[in-house]
Amino acid sequence: MSATAPRVIRSICVFCGSRHGSNPAYAEAARELGRLMAERGIRLVYGGGRVGLMGEVADAVLAGGGQVIGVIPSLLVEKEVEHRGLTQLHEVGSMHERKALMEQLSDAFVVLPGGFGTLDEACEILTWAQLGLHAKPLGLVNTAGYYDLLTGFLDHAQGEDFISATNRRLVRVEATAAALLDRLIAG
């Protein structure tokens, strides 16, 4: 039996909240992910915001000397939430264009705590993987059990035969950013 070669990941798209949430562990996890990405030379691709967990992860990558590419729709630029200190910022016309460009620029996807937008982004990327439009890994950082109910739903949907076992395995889950990065890279 041969060992799987480690996956080369140069760029990770991070989906996360534009708010900090109620638990300080969420912001801590975002900063930890950013620090680890910078240490490992992995470029961050994200939604381009300066607020919430989005700002935390971007600032941590930048503080560690890493590269950050933001992709932000014009409507959010108008609300003045864009991060102006990034390596590169792409302004696009729509949320769909945002997701498509983030997918093109990324080798993998990490999901931190967030709300509707975070779930929308993660579900669309998972749907594209299910349809064979890409084969890039996606994982959830389950900080303080944030995604326990979602993973329970996914298990239930698989049990009810709405999600195949193969597609259920598309969602990798780890409690920490370090464990998830190691898992994504391991293949």
pLDDT of the residue at 187? 80
pLDDT of the residue at 110? 98
Inter-residue contact 37 to 12 (CB < 8 Å): yes
Taking the C-alpha atoms of residue 101 and residue 85, their distance in angstroms, rounded to an integer, is: 20
pLDDT of the residue at 3? 60
Give per-residue pLDDT as tens, 97-130.
999 999 999 999 999 999 999 999 999 999 999 9
Which residue matches tokens 């929308």?
120
Give per-residue pLDDT as tens, 24-46.
999 999 999 999 999 999 999 99
Inter-residue contact 148 to 122 (CB < 8 Å): no
At 5, the pLDDT band (50, 70, 90 cuts) reads: confident
At 156, the pLDDT band (50, 70, 90 cuts) reads: very high
Give per-residue pLDDT as tens, 47-65.
999 999 999 999 999 999 9
At 1, the pLDDT band (50, 70, 90 cuts) reads: very low
CATH class, 11-186 region: alpha beta
- The strands making up 43-46's β-sheet, listed across from edge to edge, are 88-92, 68-73, 43-46, 11-15, 108-111, 138-141, 171-174
pLDDT of the residue at 80? 78
35-39, 67-71, 75-79, 89-93: least confident range:
75-79
**pLDDT at 2 > cutoff 70:** no
**pLDDT at 181 > cutoff 70:** yes
**pLDDT at 78 > cutoff 60:** yes
Inter-residue contact 126 to 13 (CB < 8 Å): no
Which strand (E) or helix (H) includes residue 92? strand 88-92
